Amino acid sequence: MAKQDIDAVTGIATTGHEWDGIKELNNPLPRWWLWTFYACCIWAFGYWIVYPAWPLVSSYTAGVIGYSSRANVRADMVALQQLRGEKAAALAKADLADIEKDPNLLAFARAQGRAAFGDNCAPCHGTGATGSKGYPNLNDDDWIWGGTLDALHQTLQYGIRSGHAQARENQMPAFGKDGTLKKDEIVQVANYVRSLSGQPTRAGVDLAAGKQLFADNCAVCHGDDGKGNTELGAPNLTDRIWLYGGDEASLIETITNARAGVMPAWVDRLDPVTIKALAVYVHTLGGGR
């Protein structure tokens, strides 16, 4: 047998490992650490038995106590619906227009709508509903598909280009990508559109040519005056509210490649009362019509 190496200073045997002249002592693990380790092993084994833990082919072991976080959530939702009680029932029966006429019902709808907005809409539109590039600001009075209660309710239910059969649909042509307009023509249209909202245009650009190109290609949706059409989802181009940016570069990008933002349909994700409350909440943010 190999002779055990004993450290001269401590009198403790070494493991035989050495790095740069430093030897590793073969100290036993602290007793408290060992007992903690053993306790954790016993706890883990007990946890496997008591709680859901082991995956099966198409399910998992339910555990002795049959705990389920999903079941708890369902129970909490049932309790919440019972807590809301009569007000939720009244909100479900009320017409959209009548909700804002009843102060108590309006307060309840706004409270429920605010909570639902934070959970479902804020990731895109922001906690304050001010939006960002590509996501509309819901506080202003500029609405692509209309800002009435009924219009908001429909948009919330079925979404925009969401794939739902009743979703709001439109498609702006990619004038540059499809070869409909040349690069210099796109620059002319972009600058003409900027002029509609009183913004400065690039020197030397033929705005008259841009106006004609707009009339030939864009007016069918946005109108001859550029004020848009909510029935077609065509934005108003005469204000300074831009979903994807109103600078020349952004407009050129939009005209060249088009935009096709998607809003999910909530009809299959949220219950009808919550969607109704959301419509009321958004309508009362300040920009509803």
Per residue in 223-267, pLDDT (tens digit) is: 999 999 999 999 999 999 999 999 999 999 999 999 999 999 999
Specify the pLDDT at position 67: 83
pLDDT, tens digit, 9 for 90 and up, residues 152-202: 999 999 999 999 999 999 999 999 999 999 999 999 999 999 999 999 999
Q: Please give the Cα distance from 259 to 265 (Å, whole number).
A: 19
Specify the pLDDT at position 288: 66
Res. 283 pLDDT band, cuts 50 70 90: very high
Does this model's pTM top 0.85? Answer: no
Specify the pLDDT at position 71: 81
Instruction: List binding-site positions for heme c.
Output: 121, 124-125, 172, 218, 221-222, 263
Specify the pLDDT at position 226: 97
Does residue 1 carry a pLDDT above 60? no
Q: Is 183-257 in the same CATH topology as 71-167+263-286?
A: yes
pLDDT, tens digit, 9 for 90 and up, residues 49-105: 998 888 888 888 888 888 888 788 888 878 877 776 778 888 888 999 899 899 989
Question: Does domain 71-167+263-286 fall into CATH 3.40.50.1260?
Answer: no
- Topology of domain 183-257 in CATH is Cytochrome Bc1 Complex; Chain D, domain 2 (1.10.760)
Does residue 270 carry a pLDDT above 60? yes
Listed by start position, the domains of the chain span 14-61, 71-167+263-286, 183-257
Instruction: List binding-site positions.
Output: 121, 124-125, 172, 218, 221-222, 263
